[in-house]
Chain A
C-alpha cells in the first residue's frame, strides 16, 4: 500500500515535470503539443476510491495550469474525464470492469487503445474548447483536438510499452 502511494507521487511529479519542461514546448507544426500528463488519470488503479481520483485529477490539472498560465482549462478537462472514466472503462473493457480486476499491464492491446483514445479525445476537446471559448471557432478546436490527440495517444502507448513490467 505504502509502496503504491510513493509510486503515484513519483508518477505525478515526473509527469508534471516532463509536461512543463519538455512537452509544452514541442509545438510541432506550430501548435501541436502532446498532453502526456493525462496518463496519470488514465492509468490510476480502478479499484481505488472515485473521490480520490477526481480530487487528484483536479490537482494535477491545476498544477499544469499554474505552470502554463492557462487559468483553469486543464483542471476543468481533467475533472471531466475523471468523472466519466468509469463509463469509458465499462464501454472499453466490458466484463472485466464489472469484476474490478483490470490491470493495465495485462489487458488486451485493442481494448486499451479504445480506452485511451476515448479518454484523450474527450480531454483534448474539452481543453481546446475552453481555451478558445467560442463556438464560432469550432473547426479550429476540432482540428487541434484531432492532431494533438494522435500525438498524445502515440506517446502514451510508447511510454507504457517501455515501462511495462513483464508479468506474464
Chain B
C-alpha cells in the first residue's frame, strides 16, 4: 500500500496529464461521432451570450451585403407569388386543411466557422423558439446545415462544411441521387458521391436536395457541378460541387421543421419491425 501511494506521489504530474489528456480525447472522439449529444458545446448561457453581444456589433459590418441578399430573395419570392396567382384554379385547397408540411423559423447566425474540418455554427434561437435536433437549416441561396444541439436560447448547427455530415442530394434534371460529403479543402466546394455512372451529368448542372430524409424538403438548391470524374471502381461519379451559398458570409438563415416527421418515422419503424 505504502509503495502504491509513493508511486502515485512520485508520478503525480504524469498521472494528472494522462487523466486530463484522456478526458479531452473523450470529448474529441464524441465530436467525431454523429448524433452523440455533446457535453462541450457553445450553445450554453455563457458562450451564447458572449457571441450574441459580439454579433450585435459585428452585425453592422455586413449589413450592406446582407441587405442585398435579402432584397434578391424578396424579388424572387415576389416573382413566385405573382406567377402563382395567375395560375390559381378551382382545385384550390380550402383554408382549414391548407397547412404546409414545413414550418420555417427565422434565425441569425451569431458565430460562423469555416476554416476547420468540423465546422459548427451557432444560432440565436433555441428550444424556446421551437428548435430541436435534426431540423434542416437553409439560407436564401441554399442549404447551410443540420441542427445538432439546442439550449433554451441558442442552437448549434453542423454546417455542410463538416466531415461528419452526410446529406442526400440529387441532380435537378433527373432523379439520380447520391450523398454529399466534404473533403475539408475549400469552403466553396463540397463533394457528391454515389451518383451512378449511367446518370447523364454535365459541367454546370444544378444539384438539389433529394427529400429522401425528412430533414430537408426536396428541391432546395445546393450548387452547380464544377468538375467530375469516375471513382476507382468506375461505377460511380465523384463530383465536385460549387456551393451557391457563400458559407463565409452568413447572417439570416431559416430552419425547416417537417411537421410530419414523427408520422413518417413511426411508419418507417413499423415497416422495419415486421
Contact = CB atoms under 8 A, between A and B. Distances in A.
Interface of A: 20-21, 24, 27, 30-33, 50-51, 54-55, 58, 61-62, 65-73, 75-76, 79-80, 82-83, 130-133, 137, 140
Interface in B52-95: 54
A104 B113 CA distance: 34
B35 interface: no
A8 B117 CA distance: 32
Contacts of A66: 40-42, 44, 47
Nearest to A86: B13
Nearest to B158: A69
Contacts of A27: 114-115, 248
Given A30-B115, A131-B118, A70 B24 contact: no
A71 to B, nearest CB: 3
Given A69-B113, A70-B116, A71-B32, 11 more contacts: A50-B13, A55-B20, A66-B44, A70-B31, A71-B30, A72-B24, A73-B24, A76-B24, A79-B21, A131-B116, A132-B117
B8 interface: no
B42 A67 contact: yes
Interface of B: 12-14, 16-17, 20-21, 23-32, 38, 40-42, 44, 47, 50-51, 54, 113-118, 120, 122, 156, 184-187, 248
A132 B116 CA distance: 9
3 nearest CB pairs, A to B: A72-B27, A72-B24, A71-B31
Nearest to B32: A133
A50 B10 CA distance: 12
A168 to B, nearest CB: 34
Contact of A71 (B28, B122, B248): B28
Contacts of A68: 42, 113, 116
B263 to A, nearest CB: 32
A58 B184 contact: no
A54 B113 contact: no
A70 to B, nearest CB: 7
A55 B186 contact: no
A21 B111 CA distance: 10
Contacts of B115: 27, 30-33
A65 B144 CA distance: 22
Interface centre among B20, B29, B51, B185 (most CB of A within 10 A): B20
Contacts of B44: 66
Contacts of B50: 20, 67
Contacts of B32: 71, 133
Nearest to B21: A79
B34 to A, nearest CB: 13
A71 B21 contact: no
Given A31-B115, A51-B13, A76 B21 contact: yes
B24 A24 contact: no
B17 A82 contact: yes
A75 B20 contact: yes
B25 A76 contact: yes
B235 to A, nearest CB: 22
Nearest to A75: B24
A55 B31 contact: no
B190 to A, nearest CB: 15
Contact of B12 (A24, A51, A62, A80): A51
Nearest to A26: B115
